[in-house]
């Protein structure tokens, strides 16, 4: 009876499986080296983080959507506060998967930066 009960519970849970694909990336922001991750989930959400190689203690969080194949609309936050918003597009080279794009500061003071994240194919 216990086996039947647990099998039933498993059948209820399986359709809600949120398996995701996480990959490590290297890249740069305005010429400064960064390292990070991006996780793509089945529900088209994307999450991740990055840090500047020169400041590994300062981790920025990435959250967004990948509703359009090859495009991430994302917000970048630090210490729980949204700081930047923008869009990254995907390019495939012979050797790399590359995500890159412009981000702007949420308080509209005109500050922008260009981010590039790449990983081997």
The answer to whether the beta carbons of residues 75 and 65 sit under 8 Å apart is no
Q: Does any domain span residue 109?
A: yes
Confidence at residue 108, expressed as pLDDT on a 0 to 100 scale:
64
Polymer length of the chain: 121
Domain span at residue 64?
18-120
Name the band, by pLDDT with cuts 50, 70 and 90, for residue 9: very low
More confident of the two residues 111 and 53: 53
Q: Taking the chain, what is the end-to-end CA distance rounded to the nearest angstrom?
A: 47
Confidence at residue 110, expressed as pLDDT on a 0 to 100 scale:
74
Q: Does any domain span residue 13?
A: no
Number of compact structural domains in the chain: 1
Q: Does any domain span residue 53?
A: yes
Average pLDDT value for residue range 86-114: 91
Residue 37's CATH number: 2.40.160.90
Q: What share of the chain is helix, strand, coil (3-state, %, to 5)?
A: 10, 65, 25
Residue 7 has pLDDT above 60, yes or no: no
**Mean of all residue pLDDT scores within the chain:** 87
């Amino acid at each position: 009876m216990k086996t039947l009960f647990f099998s039933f519970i498993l059948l209820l849970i399986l359709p809600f499986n949120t398996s995701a694909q996480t990959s490590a990336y290297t890249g740069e922001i305005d010429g400064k080296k960064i390292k990070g991750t991006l996780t793509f989930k089945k529900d088209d959400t994307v999450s991740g983080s990055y840090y500047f190689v020169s400041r590994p203690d300062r981790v920025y969080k990435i959250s967004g959507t990948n509703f359009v194949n090859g495009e991430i609309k994302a917000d970048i936050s630090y210490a729980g506060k949204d700081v930047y918003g923008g869009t990254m597009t995907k390019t495939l080279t012979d050797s790399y998967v590359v995500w890159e794009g412009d981000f702007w500061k949420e308080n509209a003071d005109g500050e922008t930066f260009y981010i590039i994240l790449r990983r081997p194919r």
